[in-house]
Amino acid sequence: MTTSVRTTEAIGAAATRHHEAGTVADTAALPWIEDAGKVAPQDARAMSKIFFDKLQVLEEGTHEYQYARNTLIEMNLSLVRFAASRFRNRGGDDTEDIIQVGTIGLIKAIDRFDLSREVEFATFAVPYIVGEIKRFFRDTTWSVHVPRRLQELRVELAKAKEQLSTKLDRDPTVAELAAHLDLPEEEIIEGLVAANGYSAGSLDTPNADSDSGSEQRAYADLLGEDDPGMESVENLHTLAPLLRQLDDRERKIVRMRFGQEMTQAQIGAELGVSQMHVSRLLSRIVQRLRAGMSVEA
């Protein structure tokens, strides 16, 4: 309350000096505001006009110019907070980043504002602030990079889904979205798939389907693993035509060694040859099969 009263008094005094000077070119000292960030919004609007009036005639780079510009920024940060509140459901933990990006838009608006436009500064500034925030979301918040057209399509799809859901009292189908946006169904599907890249969750996040906190399991616990048996199936599928290329004796040796798990001595006794000869035959067969599998791979 004390700040508001002091600010109101400063506005009145500054306005009186402007009236007495009778010219925009008056470069008299600007009112000193101890903490511009605490100026009430209604006071900020009135005080901003005085500071903009001076900013137009002050020399850029001077101490007075910097004071006027910085004060305008601090006094109007409430516009940034107001614009940022529209994105509170999209920012996640990036609220501070959104405020900083919105402040860039505010600074651009201050540098480009002209009192001769005869519009309120807030009306002029908010589109700049919102534009910077939207650009921030568009360019930096996608977890997976997707083409710009798909980023823009995601926004259109979100609006269409909201409108159709209200009208139909259910989620719209791809065909209904395509008809509503006058786009091919293939493009709608592509946009829906691309939208999945907008945000990425941690694998340690508890499963939303769990009922109680004590029973919640992380998504990582629900992910499947590679079945080692699948590799065996693939290898056997690759080996089948290669085994058919072996002669009867070679296939018999492979069957006894790897199918029946017989020792080389047992195979030698079965075939009437020495263990050393069986070893050489197995080495030649295995080398031949490995070469064939390498070609298949």
Architecture field, domain 142-198: Orthogonal Bundle (1.10)
From first to last of its 297 residues, the chain has per-residue pLDDT tens of 334 434 444 444 444 444 444 333 344 577 788 787 777 877 888 888 888 888 888 888 888 899 899 999 999 998 998 888 887 666 455 678 888 989 999 999 999 888 787 788 888 999 999 988 888 876 665 555 667 777 778 788 888 888 898 888 888 899 999 999 998 988 888 888 777 665 555 556 665 555 454 556 665 566 656 666 666 667 777 778 888 888 988 889 988 988 888 999 999 998 899 999 999 999 998 888 888 877 655
Q: Locate 277 and state its tokens.
A: 């000869």
- What string of DSSP letters covers the chain? -HHHHHHHHHHHHHHHHHHHH-STT--PPPPP-S-GGGS-HHHHHHHHHHHHHHHTTSPTTSHHHHHHHHHHHHHTHHHHHHHHHTTTTT-TT-HHHHHHHHHHHHHHHHHH--GGG-S-HHHHHHHHHHHHHHHHHHHH--SS---HHHHHHHHHHHHHHHHHHHHHTSPPPHHHHHHHHT--HHHHHHHHHHHTTS----TTSBPTT-SSGGG--BHHHH-----HHHHHHHHHHHHHHHHHTS-HHHHHHHIIIIIS---HHHHHHHHTS-HHHHHHHHHHHHHHHHHHHHHH-
Q: Give the torsion sign (CA, 181, 185, 187, 190).
A: positive
Q: Where in the chain is the domain with CATH 1.10.10.10?
A: 142-198, 230-296
Architecture field, domain 230-296: Orthogonal Bundle (1.10)
Q: Is the pTM of this model over 0.75?
A: no
CA distance to 4, 30, 50, 93, 270, per residue, from 37 (Å): 11, 17, 17, 24, 96
Please choose, from the candidates 57, 65, 66, 48, the residue with its C-alpha nearest in 3D space to the C-alpha of residue 124: 48
